[in-house]
Amino acid sequence: MNKSELQQHDREHLLHPFTDFSDLGKQGTRVITNADGAYISDIDGHRMLDGMSGLWCCNLGYSRNEIADAVYEQLRTLPFYNSFFQCTTVPSIQLADALAEVTPAHMNNVFFTGSGSEANDTNLRLIRRYWDLKEQPEKRIVISRKNGYHGSTIAGASLGGMSGMHKQFQALDYIEHIQQPYWFGEGGDMSPEEFGIHAARCLDEKIQELGPEKVAAFIAEPIQGAGGVIIPPETYWPEVKKVLDQYDILLVMDEVIFGFGRTGEWFGADYYGMKPDLMTFAKAVTNGYFPLGGTMVGDRVAEVIKSRGGEFTHGYTYSAHPAACMAGLATINILRNENIIENVRDVTGPYLAKRWAELAEHPIVGEARSLGMVGALELVKDKGSRARFDDDCTAGGVCRDMSIKNGLVMRATGDTMIIAPPLIITTEQVDELVEKARRALDDTAKAMA
Ligand code: PXG
């Protein structure tokens, strides 16, 4: 099939995620055909620096045959077996061991799933089970944050705080949402430090309003990813820690985007010095080469679940899929053996921070922020008042298209442009990324004038 035939068949038979189907019909899809290192190419041969690591998952880029080989060999040896009914497989044991080693010291058990959304469903099940076994069944409410993203199953989307998603289904009624720590958008006249404390105190207020005896858990991404790379002010997590320490409430950190090195530490929890009870992961655990997710279970929860009461009635056919586990093992081996995360922390992360910050001087950029291997640009019409171009956030969409035209995959969340390049990006490629982003900004400024 040639390009237009592919697009026609795509239109006729494929329902894409998070897509306005009539829009897609008009424009036609971009057919991505191959990739290498930090680059992807489309069917027209247009090669682009992938500033989004696929969808926040190909942290090692696209050329790691060791991962593909590990999967292939496993598929030839034992393509599938389940981990129900007292059965197990060697890859699943090995990956569980490896995860216990690379995650925080108090996390030594894992429940495998097929995705991040499923893992957050698992978290809800574990939270309920834990409090039931502790004979505190009245602890049922889970506090989450507005504009957080936790997946697209009913549980994931209920935990998430995306208002557009909530309009299209009935959210679970035991989940409550509080203020997000988004200083640029919601901080008003407060300094970032004051606002960080303020956003954390919202958690305390919500717990008091609901009654601590009814609150089971607080879930949050260390940094909001899909919500727009919202890096909380430095005061936020220490204050959240203080609040949680006062009450008997579980902490779930959703590390689906920030796990496996994106901050320059293995997990966001390491970066912020937090001690979560549950930790969701997916995406980069296999470098995006095979679907796999899961939740790391801290000792406090694991001891109760493992030692008290009968069966935990939960599991998926593909929990601990052996080929997925081999992809995970191969990925973790590369991250460890090649000091990829240390390089982000010490070399490429600081370099990106320096170069990305230069974009703050651009006339349509209200803020340029970054941390480790993520960055965001706030597009504004007026820097002083932080006023946007319009209510429909057209500047973001224009800038995304201009960026792709200039050979860089950069995403738009409203009028916030975001990047999460592969962790293997070199300093020369960071230069290329910043130059292409600058050209996209120039083109956007012209188009919006
Ligand atoms: N938690 C977080 C923090 C995520 O970012 C999920 C859970 C769900 O994972 P699965 O594997 O079920 O998709 C995610 C997923 C975007 C985008 O537009 C982000 C995600 C998924 C799709 C699109 O940035 N994150």
Atom of ligand 1 at shortest range from CA of 226: 24
Atom of ligand 1 lying closest to residue 254 CA: 3
CA of 138 to the centre of ligand 1 (A): 30
Average of per-residue pLDDT across 170-183? 97
Ligand 1 atom having least distance to the Cα of 224:
3
Per-residue model confidence (pLDDT) at position 126: 98
Residue 230: what pLDDT? 98
Residue 25 pLDDT greater than 80, yes or no? no
Q: Note the pLDDT of residue 303.
A: 97
Report pLDDT for 23.
78
Sheet of 416-419, strands arranged across: 365-371, 374-379, 416-419, 411-413
Distance CA 196, CA 202 (A): 10
Whose Cα sits closest to atom 6 in ligand 1? 151
Q: What are phi and psi of 243, to 5 degrees?
A: -60, -50
Q: Is 229 in the pocket of ligand 1 (CB under 6 A)?
A: no
Place of tokens 């959304």: 117
pLDDT band at 26 (very low <50, low <70, confident <90, very high): confident
Mean pLDDT of 322-342: 98
The secondary structure element, H or E, covering residue 270 is: helix 268-272
Going by alpha carbons, the residue nearest to atom 15 of ligand 1 is 151
Tokens of 436: 């292409």
> For residue 139, is pLDDT > 80?
yes
pLDDT (mean) for 284-309: 96
For the Cβ of 54 lying below 6 angstroms from any atom of ligand 1, the answer is: no
Q: Give me the half-sphere count of Cα atoms (radius 13 Å) on the Cβ side of residue 107.
A: 28
The two structure tokens encoding residue 70: 């590990």
Evaluate: CB of 256 within 6 angstroms of ligand 1. Answer: yes
Question: What's the gap in Å between 257 CA and the centre of ligand 1?
Answer: 7
Residue from 19, 55, 224, 410 to probe ligand 1 pocket by mutation (most atoms less than 8 Å from CB): 55
Q: Specify the pLDDT at position 24.
A: 72
The CB of 165 under 6 Å from ligand 1? The reply is no
Global pTM reads 0.98
pLDDT in tens, 397-418: 999 999 999 999 999 999 999 9
- Report how far ligand 1's centroid is from the alpha carbon of 382 (Å): 32
Helix, strand and coil in the chain, % to nearest 5: 45, 15, 40
Q: What is the pLDDT of residues 1-20, one digit of tens each?
A: 999 999 999 999 999 999 98
Give which of 423, 88, 150, 425 is closest to 293, Cα–Cα: 150
- Our CA dihedral for 227, 53, 94, 310, rounded to 10 degrees, sits at 20
Task: Could you list the beta-strand ranges (E) of 282-326.
Answer: 293-298
Shortest-distance atom of ligand 1 to CA 418: 24
- For the segment(s) 66-337, the CATH number from 2.80.10.50, 2.130.10.10, 3.40.640.10, 3.30.2270.10 is 3.40.640.10
pLDDT at position 144:
98
What pLDDT shows up at residue 248?
A: 94
Which CATH code for domain 31-63+341-448?
3.90.1150.10
Cβ–ligand 1 contact at 293 (below 6 Å): yes
pLDDT band at 289 (very low <50, low <70, confident <90, very high): very high
Q: List the domain boundaries for the chain.
A: 31-63+341-448, 66-337
Q: What is each CA distance from 82 to 67, 71, 122, 178, 236, in whole angstroms? A: 21, 16, 17, 39, 41
Ligand 1 centroid from CA 310, angstroms: 33
Query: How far does the centroid of ligand 1 lie from the alpha carbon of residue 170, in Å?
Result: 20
What per-residue confidence (pLDDT) applies to 207? 98
| CA nearest neighbour of 80 among 330, 331, 319 | 319
Separation of alpha carbons 191 and 195, rounded Å: 6
Nearest CA to ligand 1 atom 9: 116
- With the most atoms of ligand 1 within 8 angstroms of its CB, the residue from 16, 257, 286 to mutate is 257
Tell me the C-alpha distance between 89 and 185, whole Å. 48
DSSP string, 358-377: GGGGSTTEEEEEEETTEEEE
Distance of CA 378 to the CA centre of its chain: 19
Ligand 1 pocket residue status of 116, Cβ below 6 Å: yes
Judge whether 264 and 271 are in contact, CB under 8 Å.
yes
For the cut 90, the answer to whether the pLDDT of residue 28 exceeds it is no
